[in-house]
Structure 1
Amino acid sequence: MSYLLESLTRKVDVDNLILNTIDRVLVLRFGRTSDVVCMQLDEIIAKSVRDVSKFAAIGLVDADAPEIQSYIKYFDITLIPATIFFFNAHHMKMDSGTPDHTKWIGAFHSKQDFIDVVEVIFRGAMKGKLIVTCPLPKERVPKFELLYGNI
């Protein structure tokens, strides 16, 4: 499913996408196309693209690309997939009941879960909030203890 979405391997492309996505949530999935959990997440994202297209843009970032390593370090991405959200070039944070509010770790359980999270981030951003509360019940939020691919 990754072939349906924009894949980014250069820092300048990620920078431009962050800076030029205006009045929409930018969803950046950091991961690998060969990772099973990334493939599950990519399938959910690909199925959701049309539903979120009015309020979100999506990019897949290759975590192994040499130019992307500055983002990997900056956002402290140690587990993949990691999904980071932006709105008007501002990093959006989400309280999902996990220790890390800066990113979503792992795949979503369903297409609707992904859409719900992106929509809540968009509504919060439109109200000027930089941190929002996750709309999903705790049992649908991935646990850090689960084995996801390490960087």
Structure 2
Amino acid sequence: MEYLLPTLRKKQEVDSLIRDTLDKVLVLRFGLSSDAVCLQLDDVLYKSAKDVSKFATVALADAAAEEIQVYLKYFDITYVPSIVFFFNAHHMKMDSGSADHTKWVGTFHKKQDFVDVVEAIYRAAMKGKLIVNCPLPPERIPKFQLLYKDV
């Protein structure tokens, strides 16, 4: 059975999912269904959703939707795909070696990388931590040049 991932296009849908996902990691992918890298990531997410379903919920947020723009601004999402993690409505951060710990930018090389990251976030969250070190080796973490607006 293939897991279908919900696609959110309204602010209220995102707000409700963040608020109502309890005792699980919420994996919220911001992206575009027309972007090749987003489609590659979505494939990894689809294939992993069943494996992480006991401790995570995966959803897609349509970055082209007008109501989703508020989140793109809030999380400073300039590259898609970007994933933001939550646990019990708390924003979970990950140190993956970049200056930005608020989101995962890019895709995962393989399904197991995604599972490892979500599991690390879940374990940290269960211990009350809001930031976790990325469990992946540096060569499997996408690198992006961060752009700061108005600097």
Which AA in structure 1 matches 2:133?
Answer: T
Offset at residue 30 of structure 1 (A): 0.1
Offset at residue 119 of structure 1 (A): 0.2
The CA distance in 2 between the partners of 1:82 and 1:24, in whole Å, is 19
The CA distance in 2 between the partners of 1:78 and 1:46, in whole Å, is 23
| Count of residues paired in the alignment | 144
Offset at residue 16 of structure 1 (A): 0.2
* Alignment match, 2:51: 51
The CA distance in 1 between the partners of 2:14 and 2:40, in whole Å, is 22
RMSD, aligned CA: 1.2
Q: What's the TM-score, normalizing by structure 1?
A: 0.93
* Alignment match, 1:84: 84
Identity of aligned residues (%): 67
**What secondary structure, in the 3-state scheme, does the structure 1 residue paired with 2:117 have?**
helix
Which AA in structure 1 matches 2:30?
Answer: F
Which AA in structure 2 matches 1:6?
Answer: P
Which AA in structure 1 matches 2:126?
Answer: M
* Alignment match, 1:18: 18
1:72-112: CA deviation from partner (whole Å, max 9, x where unpaired): 10000000100000000000000001111000000000000
Which AA in structure 2 matches 1:57?
Answer: T
Segments of structure 1 that go 5 or more residues without pairing to the other structure are 146-151
* Alignment match, 2:60: 60
- Structure 1's consecutive aligned runs of 4 or more residues displaced over 3 angstroms after TM superposition are none
Q: What's the TM-score, normalizing by structure 2?
A: 0.93
The CA distance in 2 between the partners of 1:58 and 1:13, in whole Å, is 13
Segments of structure 2 that go 5 or more residues without pairing to the other structure are 146-151
